[in-house]
Amino acid sequence: MFDGELTNDGEQTVVESSMETPTSTPPSSTPLTPQSTHSSSSNDETSDELPSHRFRSMEDIYNSSQFALMVSDPVCYDEAATKEEWQQAMKEEMTAIKKNGTWKMVDLLEGKNAIGLNWVYKTKFAANGSLEKHKARLVANGYA
């Protein structure tokens, strides 16, 4: 068992006790780690032992995201249809669907319901934060 003793300068030291206690006695809640009340010179000594942490300044975080906050993607077809770049993106998606044979038009059987479709719009950015392209996807309702 280890006991904590306080020294004259207020630090707690750990000393081994030769007394054994029964196992039914709960351990002491006194922490065995010394509380540091030293000046910053002792912190300098221990800083080599701690892992270094990398921090980004708030300026670095917000400078790269300001442009993304100003660009908003359309949330519906009517909004996208008014912009030339989104019209082009939808045209490219329809061309790809036809070229790849993704869908095949069939007659709807009596008593059956057709699934709904939605356009999903996303502005893509390059690694350096510049605008890469506008992407439009035609998806079945409820699926992305």
Q: In angstroms, rounded to a whole number, what is the distance separating the alpha carbons of residues 107 and 44?
A: 77
**Sequence ranges of the domains in the chain:** 72-105+115-144
The letter for the amino acid at 87 is Q
Q: What are 76-104's pLDDT values in tens digits?
A: 999 999 999 999 999 999 999 999 999 88
Band of pLDDT at residue 58, cut at 50, 70 and 90: confident
* Entry pTM: 0.49
Instruction: Judge whether 126 and 132 are in contact, CB under 8 Å.
Output: yes
pLDDT band at 1 (very low <50, low <70, confident <90, very high): very low
Tell me the C-alpha distance between 12 and 107, whole Å.
84
